[in-house]
Amino acid sequence: MKKIIVTVGPSLLHSIPLSEVHHHRNIYRINGAHGSIKSIEEYILEIRRQAPDAQILMDLPGNKVRTCDFDKAIHLQKGQVFELGFDKTNFKEFYSLLKVGDVVWANDSTFEFIVDEIDLEERLIRLLSNSDGYLQNNKGVHVRGIHNDIPFLFEKDKALIELANKHELDYVGLSFVRDVQDIQQAKALINQNIKIISKVETKSAVNNLVEILNEVKFILIDRGDLSTEIGIEKIPAYQSYILNKANFYNKKVFLATQFLKNMEVNPIPSIPEVIDMYNTLRSGVYGLQMSEETAIGKYPKECLDVIAKVMAEIDEEML
């Protein structure tokens, strides 16, 4: 049976109880990027309270550079320069990896900035915005080509691994894996009975894919973060390559990002979303991941109903 990784959050779990969607194919994902260690532990306890037999995935935030500690969102205006303090990301040395002219992608590549100045005296990064909107707290900021110079596990990752061990969770997701050494570093900290899902969302992971597949049983292709690194136009070819290679090595593959994006605000999916999901499920994936669709979307139950119907349709065709 194919699995569905279901991200919990303000919508599913709090507004809508798990009793309305619970099924043994579900793996309930806690996104470790959001919240304190204490609040994340409360999520674990609440999932267990609502569904004692639930499978739980702790998805580590990994070494993704994120905005933090904003008093308010930064208003972005195309063609205008704004300032980002050295202390306003979760990796305080981020500024040291930048140079004037670098392109910075933010918020899953929806914003684009150019590094205009790195002011060491004022401890500010000045960025020229090529986008309009608002840059919020806890949004990823990415510069291609610098990722290998960032430590694999941040302190929060290590604390969340301790939490996963304490509560004997089923899965830990490793974010921004680059090579086998990253996985081995995490394995040394994770209880042996916890299954590891190595996420493929960096170009380095793609380059080292065979070695990674020989190290783990599960991978997850995160199309959002991978697109930030390689360019969105390359995602179809990369997805096909990774999936084919994983199937050849008999590994289980999850696929994530924007399967039912329309259903964050609408009760039904778009036709292209259903077609993509159908083709994806038939292509050999082990499961799909719902992210914002169930964590903050308006229709988490309806999302899972759509997936179940598509799965059932495929099962009937294969009889």
How does pLDDT run across 79-97, given as a tens digit for each residue? 999 999 999 998 889 999 9
Kindly state whether residues 260 and 199 are assigned to the same domain: yes
Kindly state whether residues 233 and 254 are assigned to the same domain: yes
Kindly state whether residues 220 and 314 are assigned to the same domain: yes
Kindly state whether residues 186 and 290 are assigned to the same domain: yes
Whether residue 220 has pLDDT greater than 80: yes
What CATH number has the domain bearing residue 209?
3.20.20.60
Whether residue 100 has pLDDT greater than 80: yes
Cα 13 from Cα 59, distance rounded (Å): 17
| Segment 57-70 mean pLDDT | 92
Percent of the chain clearing pLDDT 90 (strictly above): 83
> Model confidence over 18-48: pLDDT tens digits?
999 999 999 999 999 988 999 999 999 999 9
CA dihedral 266, 271, 277, 283 (to 10 degrees): -170
Give the number of domains in the chain. Answer: 2
Question: So what's the pLDDT on residue 280?
Answer: 92
Give whole-number Cα distances, 202 to 68, 86, 89, 164, in Å: 22, 24, 20, 24
Domain contains 266? yes
Kindly state whether residues 14 and 45 are assigned to the same domain: yes
Phi and psi, residue 63, nearest 5°: -90, 35
Q: Other CB atoms closer than 10 Å to residue 146's CB: what's the count? A: 15
**Length of the chain in terms of residues written:** 319
Question: So what's the pLDDT on residue 224?
Answer: 86
Which of 297, 307, 303 has the alpha carbon at shortest distance from 265? 297
Q: Tell me the pLDDT band of 319, cut-offs 50, 70 and 90.
A: low
> Model confidence over 277-295: pLDDT tens digits?
999 999 889 999 999 999 9
> Model confidence over 149-162: pLDDT tens digits?
789 999 999 999 99
Question: So what's the pLDDT on residue 214?
Answer: 97
Question: So what's the pLDDT on residue 107?
Answer: 84
Whether residue 101 has pLDDT greater than 80: yes
- Do residues 59 and 26 touch, judged by C-beta distance below 8 A? no
Q: Which domain holds residue 43?
A: 3-63+153-318
Kindly state whether residues 100 and 171 are assigned to the same domain: no
Q: Tell me the pLDDT band of 16, cut-offs 50, 70 and 90.
A: very high
Domain contains 79? yes
> Model confidence over 160-199: pLDDT tens digits?
999 999 999 999 999 999 999 999 999 999 999 999 999 9
Specify the residue for token string 């995602």.
Answer: 235
Task: State the Cα angle at 21 between 16 and 25, rounded to 5°.
Answer: 140
Final residue belonging to a domain, choices 124, 148, 172: 148
Final residue belonging to a domain, choices 111, 131, 148: 148
- Do residues 115 and 127 touch, judged by C-beta distance below 8 A? yes
Average confidence score pLDDT of the chain? 94
Question: So what's the pLDDT on residue 79?
Answer: 96
Domain contains 69? no
